[in-house]
Structure 1
Amino acid sequence: MKLTTALTLTLAGLAGMAHAADEIQPETLTIEKTIAPGPNVLVMDFGMVGSSPVYVFGSEELKLKGNIGTGSFGQMVLSKDGKTLYTVSAYLERYVYGDIDAVVHEWDLQTMTAKREFEINDKFGHAESQPGLLTLADDEKFLLVQNATPATSVTVVDLAKGADIAEVPTPGCWTAIPAVEGRRFTSICGDGTLASYGFEADGTFTKPVKSAQIFDADKDALFANPLRVGSKLIYLSFGGNFLVVDDSAETATLEKTVSIEGGEWAPGGSEVMTYHAPSNTIFVMMHKGAFDGSHKNPAEEIWAVDAETFKVKGRSAANGETGILATKGDAPELFGVTHTGTLVKYSVALGDEVTLTKSAEREGAAIFPALMVSDF
């Protein structure tokens, strides 16, 4: 009797489960044609152990909208209108040996799809993602790609043709910072000079024109990536000195050197500074107790500096960032990334004193975040 009752209840239960299963509607998976509307921050994950994906976060809540897959050792640059992302990365046949395909991708940011791709000179530098290693020149008609074999040179890519047209030797020099107008770029050199190079649409290029020595790499080296402030370039030294450079002529010239007057504080990080043009403000990551080799230390504070007078307009607590980025609008926001992969958002209060307030944070934004760009 008990066995019969138990069997009846079991069968009834199975029938109930089957009936419930009949009522479950299968989920339909879809692919959105475009990412969600709104401004975005793009973070390149350098990786070093595989591909270099680009993660796209909505600026409001740092919500992940999607990612763009590239090859290894990626570099990226965003068009001025914020609609097209260019990347260069390596596709390795055996990773530690074998053939390398260096591929330029042109991505539509809204659909996160590749509009086209093409191979270029495979000498491009397998270096941490930096702004000066992939740049747009001559009203975005050309890409400049930093090479290292370890001999240094710059590949000039004609975007209309979808092909590289020249390899410009740049011995002892690093980065390709395009001029405001024309087909020229500036590179920082280990002998303390800046070298200027010109190129033409037919692939010809000029011999380097060296500046006078503007810094001593042994006494006070420079961070390689300058800011473009109006028509000038502003470099920052490990010791906290701003060097204002005029690169508008054939030969780059040093206009002035101004100390940030940090005392025992000094700049540090990877992308150590960023510029907000409407307020003419430079934001710099700073750390205390500087010593020889601390120029990679994460930020303890973020300082706001007037780009005209170079006076400090504000000091705000940081969260261990190694890279920062200011957005372009009249009411800026500032974003930072840490070497552990946390993305931090700050609201910015402008005025006689500039202050930052942390307004959002996202852990695990990337494994090795190396470079940020924004489309607003």
Structure 2
Amino acid sequence: MKRVAVLAAAMAVAVPALAEDAEFKPETVGLKETIDPGPNVFVYQQEWKGAGSIAVYGKDDLAFKGLMTSGSMGTMLLAPGGKTAYTQSTYMKRITWGDIEQVLQVFDVATLTPVKEIALPPKAAMTLGYAPMLQQSADGKYVYVQNATPAASVTVVDPVAGTVLQEIPTPGCWGVYPTGEGYAFSMLCGDGSVSRFALGADGKTAEKTGSEKVFDPDADALFVSGVKVSDGWLFPSFGGNLYHVADGAAVPKLVEKFPVAEGVEGGWAPGSYGLAALDAKNGVLFLSMHPEAKEGSHKDLAKEVWAIDLATRKVLSRSPVEELATIAVDGADASVLVGLTEDYRVIRYTVDPKAGYALTKTVENKTTGFSMLATVTP
């Protein structure tokens, strides 16, 4: 009791003294009209029980710049130039059952504000935030939304006019992979073929063509997270191969298939979600890899990121990483690689070309929700 009394007396003396010495300074709260200038990292923070968001960070230091709030179970897309962002969002009136409303939201990146909302048919796929679920034509004129009812189809949207132009049935085919020019896109199909849908200039027509069997979906399935190359797409497979599919002609064609970990001890194979990122300028593919691969381990998080020279097919470096779920680079300047983890972190790595494009961690920041989709801008 004596100790308590002494402590109380000391506090009674100390508190008035503190009040006399410290001048109260109220915090000033303001509102920026625009985010700070400079290159950005966009992270889609997907939520399944409430509002998701696009978090914006500075590319140089991962300083947090702000949020663009979206609906549930959505995904994101940046228009060419990086000044406009899209989210495909689902709004659920009763969360677990009942009616839903699905929209394509359009945001002004500089002010982080919504500028338009386009009603979609209530068919958009409610999946994890894979990039092929929301894509756009090469010039950004049309936006493509993956649907699942569970029948597969694609909704074509004109974001400038704010209208839905058509729904294209795509039975048995999944993921939207636009061509480098024009308005066509390809899709991976369950029978191992690749289908191509060529849209007319008005976005209201589509002609389908299909390839021969490109991959074996039972023996060596492909990840939906492909990367765009000059003449088509590059798809990693569960079994540790890379499939180069050309899409410039009317019929998609397998150009080449080659292994990435052949002869490497440890049973390494690709894995995670957004598992591939391309330095197009230097022809280097960054690929998330995990050891002791087996049937069903294709979602195991990355223990290493391998830098692969696409010209020589050689592994240039193997960088240990902190169980990354997604990786991304700016295709025009791949001096920085960004990784996302399942424990709510975004991590910045520098890329050293002189060391075989090896990665060095520099800084990290926090994320929320299930963050597995990132875009890095110049």
SS at match of 1:68: strand
> What does residue 148 of structure 1 align with?
148
Structure 1, unpaired ranges of 5+? 1-9
Alignment of 1:53-132 (within 5 A): 53-132=53-132
Contact 2:52 2:369 in 1 (8 A): no
CA distance in 1, matches of 2:180, 2:65: 33
> Does 2:303 correspond to 1:300?
yes
Measured against aligned partners, the alpha-carbon deviations of 1:82-138 in whole angstroms (never above 9, x if no partner) come to 111111101111122222211111111111011211212110000111111111115
How many residues were matched structurally? 362
CA distance in 2, matches of 1:369, 1:203: 32
SS at match of 2:90: strand
CA distance in 1, matches of 2:334, 2:158: 35
Contact 1:52 1:74 in 2 (8 A): yes
Amino acid at match of 1:361: E
> Does 2:318 correspond to 1:315?
yes
Amino acid at match of 1:289: E
Q: Percent identity among equivalent residues?
A: 36
Contact 1:158 1:201 in 2 (8 A): no
CA distance in 2, matches of 1:352, 1:254: 32
- CA gap 1:195/1:331 in 2 versus in 1, 3 angstroms: closer
Q: CA deviation at 1:361?
A: 1.9
Amino acid at match of 1:238: F
> Does 2:321 correspond to 1:285?
no
SS at match of 2:132: helix
Contact 1:340 1:367 in 2 (8 A): no
CA distance in 1, matches of 2:225, 2:24: 57
> What does residue 375 of structure 1 align with?
377
Alignment of 1:1-376 (within 5 A): 24=24, 26-202=26-202, 204-262=204-262, 263=264, 264-330=267-333, 332-351=335-354, 353-362=356-365, 364-376=366-378
Contact 2:146 2:175 in 1 (8 A): yes
Measured against aligned partners, the alpha-carbon deviations of 1:311-337 in whole angstroms (never above 9, x if no partner) come to 111111111001000123445100101
- CA gap 1:375/1:203 in 2 versus in 1, 3 angstroms: closer
CA distance in 2, matches of 1:183, 1:208: 13
TM-score (norm: length of structure 2): 0.90
Q: CA deviation at 1:351?
A: 3.4
> What does residue 6 of structure 1 align with?
none
Contact 2:49 2:95 in 1 (8 A): no
CA distance in 1, matches of 2:87, 2:312: 36
Contact 2:80 2:139 in 1 (8 A): no
TM-score (norm: length of structure 1): 0.91
Amino acid at match of 1:366: T
Amino acid at match of 2:361: K
> What does residue 3 of structure 1 align with?
none
Moved over 4 A (4+): 23-26
Amino acid at match of 2:124: F
- CA gap 1:151/1:92 in 2 versus in 1, 3 angstroms: same
- CA gap 1:197/1:359 in 2 versus in 1, 3 angstroms: same
Moved more, 209-218 or 192-201: 192-201
Amino acid at match of 2:236: L
> What does residue 9 of structure 2 align with?
none
CA distance in 2, matches of 1:329, 1:234: 18
- CA gap 1:217/1:150 in 2 versus in 1, 3 angstroms: same
CA distance in 1, matches of 2:200, 2:99: 30
CA distance in 2, matches of 1:221, 1:109: 37
Measured against aligned partners, the alpha-carbon deviations of 1:164-201 in whole angstroms (never above 9, x if no partner) come to 11000011111111111112110001110001112235
SS at match of 2:245: strand
> What does residue 7 of structure 1 align with?
none
Moved more, 165-174 or 132-141: 132-141
Q: CA deviation at 1:207?
A: 4.4
- CA gap 1:229/1:207 in 2 versus in 1, 3 angstroms: closer
CA distance in 2, matches of 1:89, 1:33: 25
